[in-house]
Amino acid sequence: MKHHVFLQSTLLLFGAIVALASVGALAAPQPNVILIMTDNQGAWSLGCYGNADIKTPNLDRMAREGLRFTRAFSNNAVCSPTRATYLTGLMPSQHGVHKYINRSVMMGPEAYSTLEEFDTLPQILNEAGYVCGLSGKWHLGANMKPQEGFSFWVTKPEGHTRDFVNQKIIENGEVTTLEEHQTPYWTRRGIEFIEENKDQPFFLFLAYNGPYGLGTSALTEPINQFADYYADKDLPSFTRDTAHPWLLNNRKMLNNPTAARKYASEVSGMDEGVGEIMAALQRLGLDENTLVIFTADQGLSGGQSGFWGMGDHTRPLTAYDWTMHVPLIVRHPGAIDPGGVSDRMVSNYDLLPTVLGYLGLESKQAAQPPSPGRSYTPILRGEKIEWENEVFYEFENVRAIRTEAWKYIERIGEEPNELYHVENDPGERLNLYGRAKHAGIQAQLQQRLHAFFATYAEPKWDLWKGGDAKGGLMLGKKPYAR
């Protein structure tokens, strides 16, 4: 009898332990998420991507401690459309943002959020119990007050950057002048958000408005803590070349050591901010419970192939790799194996399904409009993944498909179309379009490009079929009739 009672008690105790363990497992906190995004930064500008000129020790360390993607691409040439895609998983012909939006959409009585009808990443995370904060550039509309699930909101009234000191910011619903350099300010405010919310799941969108590399700010001397270091540097990673005939803007930056040094100094300044974020996570005991993603809205040419800038600084508008290729580094100590490198082709429209999949929230993604995005969560977990290595791009009257070996670019209402064997011609200098030898691959890529947009483009925002755009168009009108 005593033996029976003892056995029964043991089983009850064991059951209680199992139950408590299960409750503990269910109660384990969701990983925090920090999305660090820069403005106009090509992957070529980081040490971990092979740049020997620009000091990026913290991002290089982040790559050593996490997973670096060698072929991450952006689906548009400018900031508002690409940021809209990161946060919705949709193409411009689905979310309607085809170029950087006008000031009237951001500030004033006509301002509105260009994402208001969509389930965005911060909105989904907020509904799942995350507190969401923005520190940095928004440029997606209605800038004066928090949007899309954010409660912490420190941003700027404009999308472009005149310079980095004595500039306007928005804080507590008011526009004020910030005398200090904006990059360390965005970092400091991001750390304040982390500290204030360290005891609950949080999502921080740390959106630097540098390195930028455009406008009058690109032609002024560096003004941050790295100015002296770069003052006498030659910086050969900024390719010296003759201006391409299609380069419309930024010709003064090409082959200009001042522009190169300014850009390099801003990259290093942001790298220092990334180091401060990682140090704060470690200090607060959050390092192993925080997924950190570093990327850029789109790339930038620093002289490559005779260009400076992005695909909006050319006529015709373009879809070259120096606009599309962005850095992508993902770090989560204890969950993502250190030192990983993935050559899978991924796009910014893959980010939302990936983050949701990683957090176990994939069921929260809206079914409509259907996202072309594919989750690369298995790659983050060290698993093999099989998918077609291809990404798609659209910028008003330009659409493109990029595969491992080829890129096909098509224009509507304008010439020329382009075909590049990027495997052998990474500078995209020899246009093979129309050559009989490549007729088969050209036809195949064209069919895949048309099939993609036939599947995903929404008639309301499909410029190629008479659709409209939010916040204006780069070319000022719709020259899209066939």
Q: Per residue in 12-25, pLDDT tens? A: 444 444 443 434 33
pLDDT tens digit string along 205-214?
A: 999 999 999 9
* Whole-angstrom distance, CA of residue 269 vs CA of residue 39: 13
- Beta-bridge partner residues of 204: 34, 133
What is the distance, to the nearest Å, from the Cα of residue 279 to the centroid of all Cα atoms in its chain? Answer: 23
Give the length of the chain: 482
Q: Which pLDDT value is given to residue 263?
A: 98
- Non-local (6+) Cβ contacts of 220 within 8 A are 163, 258, 262
* Whole-angstrom distance, CA of residue 420 vs CA of residue 303: 19
CB 222 within 8 A of CB 268: no
Residue 435 backbone phi and psi in degrees, to 5: -85, 135
Q: Which pLDDT value is given to residue 478?
A: 64
Q: Which pLDDT value is given to residue 10?
A: 43
- Non-local (6+) Cβ contacts of 32 within 8 A are 194, 201, 202, 203, 204, 286, 289, 290, 291
- Identify the burial level of 417 via C-beta atoms within 10 angstroms of its C-beta, where 0-12 means exposed, 13-18 middle and 19 or more buried: middle
Q: Which pLDDT value is given to residue 12?
A: 44
Q: How many CA atoms lie within 13 A of 298 on its CB side?
A: 30
Query: The whole model's pTM is what?
Result: 0.94
Residue position matching structure tokens 């190629």:
464
Q: Which pLDDT value is given to residue 343?
A: 97
For every residue of the chain, which 3-state class applies, written as one string?
A: CHHHHHHHHHHHHHHHHHHHHHHHHHHCCCCEEEEEEEECCCHHHCHHHCCCCCCCHHHHHHHHHCEEECCEECCCCCHHHHHHHHHHCCCHHHHCECCCCCHHHHCCCCCCCCCCCCCCHHHHHHHCCCEEEEEECCCCCCCCCCCCCEEEEEECCCCCCCCCCCEEEEECCEEEEECCCHHHHHHHHHHHHHHHCCCCCEEEEEEEEEECCCCHHHHCCCCCCCHHHHCCCCCCCCCCCCCCCCECCCCCCCCCHHHHHHHHHHHHHHHHHHHHHHHHHHHCCCHHHEEEEEEECCCCEECHHHCEECCCCECCCCCCHHHHEECEEEECCCCCCCCEEECCCEEHHHHHHHHHHHCCCHHHCCCCCCCCCCCCHHHHCCCCCCCCCEEEEEECCEEEEEECCCEEEEECCCCCCEEECCCCCCCCCCCCCCCHHHHHHHHHHHHHHHHHHHHHCCHHHCHHHCCCCECCCCCCCCCCCC
- Beta-bridge partner residues of 67: 330, 340
Domain ranges of the chain: 30-380, 390-465
CB 457 within 8 A of CB 464: yes
pLDDT in tens for each of the 482 residues of the chain? 434 444 444 444 444 444 434 343 334 679 999 999 999 999 999 999 999 999 999 999 999 999 999 999 999 999 999 999 999 999 999 999 999 999 999 999 999 999 999 999 999 999 999 999 999 999 999 999 999 999 999 999 999 999 999 999 999 999 999 999 999 999 999 999 999 999 999 999 999 999 999 999 899 999 999 999 999 999 999 999 999 999 999 999 999 999 999 999 999 999 999 999 999 999 999 999 999 999 999 999 999 999 999 999 999 999 999 999 999 999 999 999 999 999 999 999 999 999 999 999 999 999 999 999 999 999 999 999 999 999 999 999 999 999 999 999 999 999 999 999 999 999 999 999 999 999 999 999 999 999 999 999 999 999 999 999 999 899 876 656 55
Residue 81 backbone phi and psi in degrees, to 5: -60, -40
- Identify the burial level of 204 via C-beta atoms within 10 angstroms of its C-beta, where 0-12 means exposed, 13-18 middle and 19 or more buried: buried
CATH of 390-465 among 3.40.462.10, 3.30.1120.10, 3.40.50.720, 3.90.320.10: 3.30.1120.10
* Whole-angstrom distance, CA of residue 49 vs CA of residue 6: 64
The reply to whether CATH 3.40.50.1000 applies to domain 30-380 is: no
* Whole-angstrom distance, CA of residue 192 vs CA of residue 174: 19
